[in-house]
Structure 1
Amino acid sequence: MSSRNRFNYQKYEKKYFLPPVHTCDWVKKDAIDQAPAWCSVDLRDGNQALPVPMNLSEKLELFQLLLDIGFKEIEVAFPAASDTEFAFLRTLIEKRMIPEDVTIQVLTQAREHIIRRTFEALEGAPKAIVHLYNSTSEAQRRLVFQKSREEVKQIAVDGAKWVKQYAERTKGEFYFQYSPESFPGTEVDYALEICNSVLEIWKPTPDRKAIINIPTTVENAMPHVFAAQVEYFSKHLIDRDSLVLSIHPHNDRGSGVSDAEFGILAGAERVEGTLFGNGERTGNVDLVTLAMNLYSHGVDPKLTFSDMPSICETFERVTRMTVHERQPYSGKFVFTAFSGSHQDAIAKGMQARGQAAGDKWDVPYLPVDPADLGRSYETDVIRINSQSGKGGIGYVLDQAYGIKLPYRMKEELGYCVKGESDTRQKELSSEEIYAVFEREYLAYHPRFQVLDYRLGRGPGHIAFVTVQAGGGDPIDIEGQGDGSLDAVCQALKAYAALDFHLEVYEEYSLGKSSAAQAVACIGIVQEGRYYWGAGIDKDIMNASVQALAVAVNRLGTAGPRG
């Protein structure tokens, strides 16, 4: 069989169901203006998808992390599933580890012995949501259960009755949630019928609401289809003012975030998901991305990710999973620019931000301020390789060392640094970039170096300069010019037998104190071509002479293009 025959699209067909009435009022909204209620399912749905599920201590550590981030609802366990799950729940309750403003959630199938075991684990819980579910899809009814629609609905109804009965017998404050599992493959009006039947048993009130949770257990349609389904539910559930409409998107088609955002526009008030999207198959919806999308629009997400590197480290350690380098907001490369044009735009945006009044964020290529997430401008934003440009390289030198280069000099250094990266086949650190700068512009003396100089008195400006070529003896030379630096320049012209003129001279301090180092950058020109040098010294004249000597050396050895 050919590979073409094996890769056969014709054996697939669309298997989702549109609602009987398709209104799509949600399309008229262009933004989400407040955060939904968040429920983390990392400790249950996320945990069950790990190759090595978390042990008790790891679950406790992740629970604390979720509290620190700000989650007020956390699905902590499927207590009837294993002794570890049961023990974890009991530990939280007996050690009083659940804050007063946090509600835990537990999962149970619609089977009496599992519900009974669940409430045994919940005894004494301060506040808990009991999450009841059963699968309702057409395929599961036909292939797995071999039951009719009415029989599957009865499973949900019986489960709702048992949950209510056991809640009345158990010490604790309990709220109820129902999910028609495998919803994407369920006829929408039938799923609604089941949910309304469950609600008729629970009889929620505006003061004690129930939760109806719509899961995209296996995502099988485009996000606008899910939004239409959610909107239909929102408009046709009974006792709507006594309900919280929740959604639980998965990511099989890569649209989990879109499903969630469209679902909120369509009427959902609550979202279940996991940090970084961990979960079965392609995972649950990524709550970090959802919350940070709100944040980037100026909406308080009610969750805090101000130390994202630490959050990632804890998550990776306890789950043994990896946060991908390109994971939105949290990946280590998502604020990093390697491209020269991107680096230049970011550097100019940051410079403009430093000069502008107000605190509104507006920097090209950076949708949010990396510093808000605990990321460093120096090490995370602009990183240098063979694809980088002068703007990024100059930005790194400025941020890490306070060195600001003239535009043309920055361009020439860019060629040197990119050549270094290309030769070594690696990204260069700020230290390595400075080493290139030092080698090429601070300590470049292949022909000669200036050992000393002094300035004479008298008419005009006279400079007496001591130079040394290679290992030879020092030589005293002199020059006369319009100023002190020009006098040194004339001396070096005569010594090197070179004709040039000093075109660019920039100097500044690296600090505000009187003891701060001074930086001088000099560009000399011969036949329209620039040759550059730099000097750093406590004395600005010393720095300038050093810079001039390097520039003349570069001219004399036909240095890199500038």
Structure 2
Amino acid sequence: MSDRITIFDTTLRDGEQSPGATMNLREKVRLARQLEALGVDVIEAGFPAASQGDFESVQEIAGSVNDICVAGLARSLKSDIERAWDAIKGAKNPRIHTFIATSPLHMEFKLQKTPDQVLEMTEAAVKLATSFTSNVEFSAEDASRSEPEFLARVVEKAIACGATTINIPDTVGYSQPEEFAGLITYLLEHVPNAHKAVFSVHCHNDLGLGVANTLAALRAGARQAELTLSGIGERAGNAALEQLVMALATRKDYYDLDCNVDTTQLFPACRLLSRIIGQPIDPYKAIVGRNAFAHESGIHQDGMLKHRQTYEIMTPESVGRAGTEIVMGKHSGRTALDSKLKELGFLHLSSDEVDQVFTAIKHLADRKTTILDEDVEALVLEEVFRRHGRYSLKKLSVLSGNIDMPPTAMVILDDAENEDEPVEKRLSGFGSGPIDAVFQTVDTVVERAPNLMEYKVNAVTGGADALGEVTVRLEENGMTSVGRGSDEDIIVASAKAYINAVNRLIIKEGEKKNGTYAG
């Protein structure tokens, strides 16, 4: 059995399904290129049948990466599989990933199918998928709660029909490490044609055992691990890619398994994800958290000074946390910025996009003495990847006040409903606070009245002059959207985030009218 593990990243599919992690097309493509630089073997780019937006994102990613395998997810339905193939067929190495539930609970209550019907659907789905490509993955949803004998029959059928990868998911994070390893061993021993496929695992983290279950399955003979950056995903998330990879690298003596991931790209990849989705990395997060390599205890500090390995089992440099961060400033030139962008992994920006970022950095440097890498990343995301939509903020002025003089906002927006002739719209309005005044005034300008479901502020860097990043979640007519914005002025960042969310609502409204909205 090979000691090489295939790393399958599903950040752009399962990860993006987690609350607050929605990404637009340009952000997805940017992250896909970072995953390619990271060295993952397979990117699950999305669920093409879910919506027109998902289809377009998967299609764009398929044409934007090079030799990496691009997978599209599909239920065991003819329409899903055909849609997935249409989205990924432009990739150099496309994969159709089709699935059906196999646990008694799911078959009875979700699918309302008998076991024999599930077997028939498995056969039809895999045969259809293999008519498009020989690279077909089959997943038995809720495998860890399935009856082993029936699961073995389904797996045998899928392999016989041409599936080359078999995924055994712990869909609800229910299994325990020894138990899950035992299931993998059982299938390898009881499925007659098991040797014709690579066995994969996809573990959720509901009981905090996602990585532990994945590692146990790899020791038992699974050879593909399905993971997400920082463990994002449905409910409590998925097995974290950076934790799994560093466990294999640090405990090579125990696992004796290898993968193709460049570990020095782990921290940059997780940091980029954090910037894109507007959610900070928990300081106590293993491998990539701020405190992962911090030592405050005197005993620990003494040991570290004497020999680093007394309290560190890996180095910060090994996960990409080394390097000088203070590089850019008001006197930095465009060439220096171009070099910094490439160092941060922004390899495909056009000359005009670099100019946009350069201008933004000059403006920021007038108010902020130190420009850190995180500032540069935030400005790229703000100026390049989020400045798309019908409305954009042109100018903003806000006055605070008390009960005798309520807070007032003056907002000037560009309305690009007609892209060739944008219209400037301006209005003043009141609110219970300065940010509420901004939001209510924007609502009046755009003639919408969404409900503000969530408002969150993060500091991109430390210090009183840090860039602020705001995330808002809006709901209107049963549709939700997440918007993000960053600026050194938190009220301006809030306005950008709110307008970004409104633009996404407009896009979803259009999809709903066209019949392509999937919720």
Shorter-chain TM-score bucket reads 0.5 to 0.7
Equivalent residue number for residue 177 of structure 1: 137
Is 1:345 aligned to 2:303, yes or no?
yes
CA distance in 2, matches of 1:112, 1:184: 26
Q: Which piece of structure 1 moves more, 296-305 or 242-251?
A: 296-305
Aligned residues: 321
Equivalent residue number for residue 259 of structure 1: 213
Shift of 1:78: 0.9
CA distance in 2, matches of 1:43, 1:92: 10
Q: Unmatched 5+ residue regions in structure 2?
A: 326-519
Equivalent residue number for residue 317 of structure 1: 275
Shift of 1:237: 2.2
Shift of 1:134: 0.8
Contact map agreement 1:292 1:301 (CA 8 A) in 2: no
Please give the TM-score of this superposition, normalised by the length of structure 2.
Answer: 0.59
Contact map agreement 1:273 1:284 (CA 8 A) in 2: yes
RMSD: 2.3
The one of 40, 56, 64 equivalent to 1:97 is 64
Q: Which piece of structure 1 moves more, 326-335 or 291-300?
A: 291-300
SS at match of 2:289: coil
Contact map agreement 1:50 1:319 (CA 8 A) in 2: no
Shift of 1:309: 4.5
Contact map agreement 1:161 1:201 (CA 8 A) in 2: yes
Deviations 1:32-85 (A, max 9, x none): 994511010111111122425110010011001101111121111211111111
Shift of 1:153: 2.1
SS at match of 2:64: coil
1:67/1:122 CA distance change after superposition, 3 Å: closer
Equivalent residue number for residue 505 of structure 2: none
Shift of 1:289: 0.5
The one of 45, 50, 55 equivalent to 1:86 is 55
Shift of 1:308: 4.8
Matches within 5 A, 1:18-37: 34-37=3-6
SS at match of 1:271: strand
1:371/1:201 CA distance change after superposition, 3 Å: closer
Is 1:188 aligned to 2:157, yes or no?
no
Matches within 5 A, 1:40-79: 40-79=9-48
SS at match of 2:295: coil
Contact map agreement 1:43 1:75 (CA 8 A) in 2: yes
Matches within 5 A, 1:252-401: 252-298=206-252, 300-350=258-308, 363-375=309-321
Equivalent residue number for residue 233 of structure 1: 187
SS at match of 1:342: helix
Equivalent residue number for residue 538 of structure 1: none
Shift of 1:372: 2.3
CA distance in 1, matches of 2:96, 2:9: 15
CA distance in 2, matches of 1:318, 1:377: 22
Shift of 1:377: 11
1:164/1:300 CA distance change after superposition, 3 Å: closer
CA distance in 2, matches of 1:301, 1:257: 15
Task: Give the letter for the 1:149 counterpart.
Answer: P
Shift of 1:275: 1.0
Task: Give the letter for the 1:302 counterpart.
Answer: N
Structure exhibiting the larger radius of gyration computed from Cα positions: 1
Is 1:249 aligned to 2:203, yes or no?
yes
Equivalent residue number for residue 130 of structure 2: 164
Equivalent residue number for residue 485 of structure 1: none
Deviations 1:423-447 (A, max 9, x none): xxxxxxxxxxxxxxxxxxxxxxxxx
Deviations 1:348-396 (A, max 9, x none): 114xxxxxxxxxxxx11101122323436999xxxxxxxxxxxxxxxxx
Contact map agreement 2:29 2:60 (CA 8 A) in 1: no
CA distance in 2, matches of 1:136, 1:119: 24
Amino-acid identity (%): 27
CA distance in 2, matches of 1:259, 1:307: 24
1:333/1:38 CA distance change after superposition, 3 Å: same
Q: Unmatched 5+ residue regions in structure 1?
A: 1-31, 168-172, 205-209, 351-362, 380-562
The one of 101, 107, 110 equivalent to 1:144 is 110
1:301/1:211 CA distance change after superposition, 3 Å: closer
CA distance in 1, matches of 2:317, 2:126: 48
Shift of 1:127: 1.6
CA distance in 2, matches of 1:319, 1:252: 21
CA distance in 1, matches of 2:259, 2:283: 23
